[in-house]
Structure 1
Amino acid sequence: MNLDVPYPFLDLDWFFIDIEGRIAHAASGGGKLPVSISQNYPYDFLLTFFKSLPSLGDPEVNPRLEKYVTFRNDKERKQYLASFIQMAQRGLYSFDKSDVTRTLDGRYHLVASPKIKLSIAMLPPEVASQLSITKINRRIEEINSLEVSEVA
């Protein structure tokens, strides 16, 4: 585990972009964070910004979600999906840590995809500059799961 990464045991929302400038949200589940996330990472600023955006339409829930998460009933599934759907409604791909019981495990899975995709070019400069620090060298629309070490 990278001990330089802040708050490694808190469930934090962090964001990254892909090679095309598409934006993703990830919930850390108290686990590993990308090395690019520093003590000065603007968690609250970015989360507040994205939550303030209007909905761009209903997202698509990952049809393979049950490969990663087991739900006892529909109510539990709905509660789990709520925050991920909220991010996807705002144009972000939304990921969750795959195994929250293993802090050092860096695997994440896609929870929801946006209908209308937001890109970094559509954002105010102060938001875009913060997002551009954390990137993955893949096309996000082709990702069903990822390893946090892929995000730099």
Structure 2
Amino acid sequence: MSDFEVIEENLAEFSNEAQRQSYLASFIAMSQKGFCSYDGEDGKYRLISRPKIALRYEALPEKIKCEIVPVPASER
């Protein structure tokens, strides 16, 4: 899994490309593993990056499944 997209409209302004890449590194790393990645630093969660193909709950190893509680997503 490696294809992801950055949600540009949810990003802050950066003074240069190095600063932008540094900020995005951890968000992208999570999205490359199949997870949506949010920034909640300002008290509001903003989607920063997401995989093009999301990781499905059913595909998780059992030891991970037992640690999380699935929440149904609402339809838009």
Give the TM-score category using the shorter length: 0.7 to 0.9
TM-score normalized by structure 1? 0.45
Which AA in structure 1 matches 2:28?
I
Question: 1:111 corresponds to which residue?
Answer: 48
Give 5+ residue unaligned stretches, structure 2: none
Identity, % of aligned positions = 34
Where in structure 2 are the equivalents of 1:77-96 lying within 5 Å? 77-96=20-39
| Cα distance change, pair 129–79 in 1 and its aligned pair in 2 (3 A) | same
Give 5+ residue unaligned stretches, structure 1: 1-55, 100-104, 143-152
Q: CA deviation at 1:92?
A: 0.6
| Count of aligned positions | 76
Q: Does 1:138 align with 2:74?
A: yes
**Contact in 2 for aligned 1:92/1:113 (Cα 8 Å):** yes
Q: Does 1:57 align with 2:2?
A: yes
Question: 2:65 corresponds to which residue?
Answer: 128
Matched residue of 1:110: which SS?
Answer: strand
User: 1:129 and 1:138 mapped to 2: Cα distance?
Assistant: 23
Where in structure 2 are the equivalents of 1:21-100 lying within 5 Å? 56-66=1-11, 69-99=12-42
Question: 1:3 corresponds to which residue?
Answer: none
Q: CA deviation at 1:91?
A: 0.7
Q: CA deviation at 1:110?
A: 0.4
TM-score normalized by structure 2? 0.84
Q: CA deviation at 1:124?
A: 1.4
Which 4+ runs in 1 deviate beyond 6 A? Answer: none
- Higher helix fraction: Structure 1 or Structure 2? 2
Which AA in structure 2 matches 1:117?
A
CA RMSD of aligned residues (A): 2.0
| Cα distance change, pair 85–65 in 1 and its aligned pair in 2 (3 A) | same
